[in-house]
Amino acid sequence: MEDRSLSPASTTPAGTFEKRPRRVSRLALAAALLAATVALVGVFAGFGSRWGWWTFRTGFTLLGWAAYGGVAVALLSVLALYRVRPGAPRRGLPLALVGLIVGLVLVVIPWQWRTRAQSVPPIHDITTDVENPPLFVAVAPLRADAPNPIEYGGPEVAAQQREGYPDIRPLVLDLPKEQAFERALDAAREMGWEIVDANAADGRIEATDQTFWFGFKDDVVIRLTPAADRTILDVRSLSRIGGSDVGTNAGRIRKYLDEVRERRG
């Protein structure tokens, strides 16, 4: 009579192969759910500040915690991926991959911000003319409670800008002042800025822009100066809050000057 006491089936606990995929799937699902929760915290960290639910400092704190959560999500997802490695049950593979991707994104975004902040000058007032910056007039009352003053920071700020943004310079237009003003105003509107004042007689345009995520408000003034049959266009972009703009104002000026150039012809 055949002895089945040493049969492989008899030495394997019943349901082991059924339970293991289930456990792996649960681990991957936990990673994905945690990733979704932390991602929502990270997203609303900025939008909550923009919508006035809390201050931007609270938003930065939440974003920091979201980054820590991203580390936890990535580690949990790596563990889940190890459990579904080649040769193992694979039911949780998609969820584990989703968790890993979200976790890495939540870590990479703050890391990129920090890296970028360290690569640019810690200033928040950028202008094409550091010797004689355009002056804000109509915008001034709107900045009454702004932590950052409207006055230019002087030689120290100018030196930092020259080193960090040597390409930010005046734009010379081969147009008389009146035509240059219309082109500059059209470009400002195309940028989506809120136009505060457009004074053709003074050759000055003032506007306010708002960042997408945290909703920080920055102010812009454009000055047009006639020079024979041409016009010199200067721009200044100034943040209302924050010690460093992480390159935002310089990027805004570059984009605006490109918009003006594209309107030539």
Phi, then psi, of 223 in degrees rounded to 5? -120, 130
Q: What is the pLDDT of residues 77-123, one digit of tens each?
A: 787 777 765 555 555 677 777 777 877 887 787 777 777 777 789 99
Which of 103, 255, 246, 128 shows the shortest CA–CA distance to 193?
255
Residue 140 CA, chain-centre distance (Å), reads 26
Per-residue confidence at 265, pLDDT binned at 50, 70, 90?
A: low
Per-residue confidence at 167, pLDDT binned at 50, 70, 90?
A: very high
Whole-number Å distance between alpha carbons of 106 and 212: 18
User: What pLDDT is attached to residue 8?
Assistant: 47
Is residue 201 helix, strand or coil? coil
Q: What is the pLDDT of residues 186-244, one digit of tens each?
A: 999 999 999 999 999 999 999 999 987 777 899 999 999 999 999 999 999 999 998 88
The percent of residues in the chain predicted with pLDDT above 90, rounded, is 49
Q: What is the pLDDT of residues 9-61, one digit of tens each?
A: 444 454 444 455 456 556 666 666 766 776 676 667 767 777 778 676 777 77
Q: Are 200 and 216 in contact (CB under 8 A)?
A: no
Angle, to 10 degrees, between the axis of helix 93-119 and the axis of helix 16-50? Answer: 30
Question: What Å distances lie between residue 135 and 152, 165, 195, CA to CA?
Answer: 9, 20, 16
* CATH code of the domain made up of 125-262: 3.30.530.50
